[in-house]
Amino acid sequence: MITVQTHHGFYCVKFEPFERSDFFTITDAHVAKLYPNLRVDLILEPGESSKDFVHYQQVIAALADARVQRKSTVVALGGGVIGDLVGFAAATYMRGIRFIQVPTTLLAQVDSSVGGKVGIDLPQGKNLVGAFYPPCEVIVDTRFIQSLPLREFRCGLAEVLKYGLILDQELWNQLIASPLTALSTELSSVIERCIRLKADVVESDEFETKGERAKLNFGHTVGHAIEVRTGYEKYTHGEAISLGMVAESWIAEKMGIAKRGLSEAIQTGLVQNGLPVRGLLGGNPSDLVQSMKLDKKSENGTLVMSLVTDIGTCELVKDVPESVVVEVLSEMSDDAGM
């Protein structure tokens, strides 16, 4: 059972009780530089390129060299990359040791730290190696958000907006009427709201076997393919997901699942929040489709997507026509045919 305790902008998302023990803290160079007084045992290079087997081996070796025991607790202090990588190391070191997530980015606070998905990337696709391994606690301190560059804050906004689009029309309307900033008085309440929305979905389908949890992936089928095809360098995760949400809402319209004008409304809201709605997507749309077929929702080589049917509602759709996907990507891409 997930509980969320609130203390004036400080949230503790508890998954299970545990005894306090010795801690091994891992972060990246960005966080270590911003908070030099924090005790850290291992500092990794920042960025998606660290979420691979080489850095996974580095983490495992560091745990072994420090003689971390099964009753020890690993602390993942950082954004989504650190949380995913360290969580996967915790899931596999000595067949599983406890770990705590302390997310320092808006994206990690509202999304990747809650839900228990951990893993690393392969050259062929994102998060293709991993596990369901929930932390004992997620400790969210909104003061970390104030140190984020504007682009990284907007990266997290993409996931916040996603919750509004798939689950909470009122939240979407609120964010469109008054775009969120790092200094907004309602920031803490929005973060808590997103945590609760995700926690409710995760509790109903923890291991993604019923199709409910997969709905959280709106924008991610296309977005992850864009990240892979652009080498994780052109866009932040949130920017790629923004492009993915535009594409997938347009696909829903062309399939007759969503009402006409939905994609345009979504684009307007994303632009208001400083997020991209078209651009260089990474080459030929047909190549992007091939990357999408490695998506974990894909079944027998067919495309499966979470598609918004109206603001605040979505459904998991199987056998999405490749021709429709290629058509949409061709129309919104600045590099189709390259």
DSSP 8-state code for residue 279: B
293 catalytic per annotation:
no
Q: How far is CA 127 from CA 122, 272, 328, 330, in A?
A: 7, 30, 25, 26
173 catalytic per annotation:
no
Tokens standing for residue 136: 């004992």
Question: Which of 137, 159, 239, 248 is an active site residue?
Answer: 159
Pairing of strands 10-14, 3-6: antiparallel
224 catalytic per annotation:
yes
Question: Which of 127, 217, 273, 284 is an active site residue?
Answer: 217
Q: Is residue 314 within 8 Å of 306, Cβ to Cβ?
A: yes
82/27 Cα distance (integer angstroms): 7
Q: How far is CA 245 from CA 162, 187, 257, 331, in A?
A: 8, 23, 15, 15
Each residue of 111-120: b (16+ CB within 10 Å) or e? bbbbbbbbbb
Question: Which of 224, 239, 253, 284 is an active site residue?
Answer: 224
Name residues whose C-beta falls within 8 Å of residue 203's C-beta, 6 or more positions apart in sequence: 1, 2
208 catalytic per annotation:
yes
97/133 Cα distance (integer angstroms): 10
7 catalytic per annotation:
no
Question: Which of 8, 39, 95, 143 is an active site residue?
Answer: 95
Q: Is residue 224 within 8 Å of 218, Cβ to Cβ?
A: no
143 catalytic per annotation:
no
What is the SS3 string spanning 227-295?
HHHCCCCCCCHHHHHHHHHHHHHHHHHHCCCCCCCHHHHHHHHHHHCCCCCCECCCCCHHHHHHHHCCC
Question: Which of 126, 229, 237, 297 is an active site residue?
Answer: 237
Question: Which of 137, 152, 208, 253 is an active site residue?
Answer: 208
217 catalytic per annotation:
yes
Question: Which of 51, 98, 117, 193 is an active site residue?
Answer: 117
Question: Which of 30, 154, 198, 229 is an active site residue?
Answer: 198
159 catalytic per annotation:
yes
DSSP 8-state code for residue 112: I
Question: Which of 220, 227, 239, 297 is an active site residue?
Answer: 220
Question: Which of 162, 213, 215, 229 is an active site residue?
Answer: 213
Which residues carry out catalysis? Answer: 95, 117, 159, 198, 208, 213, 217, 220, 224, 237
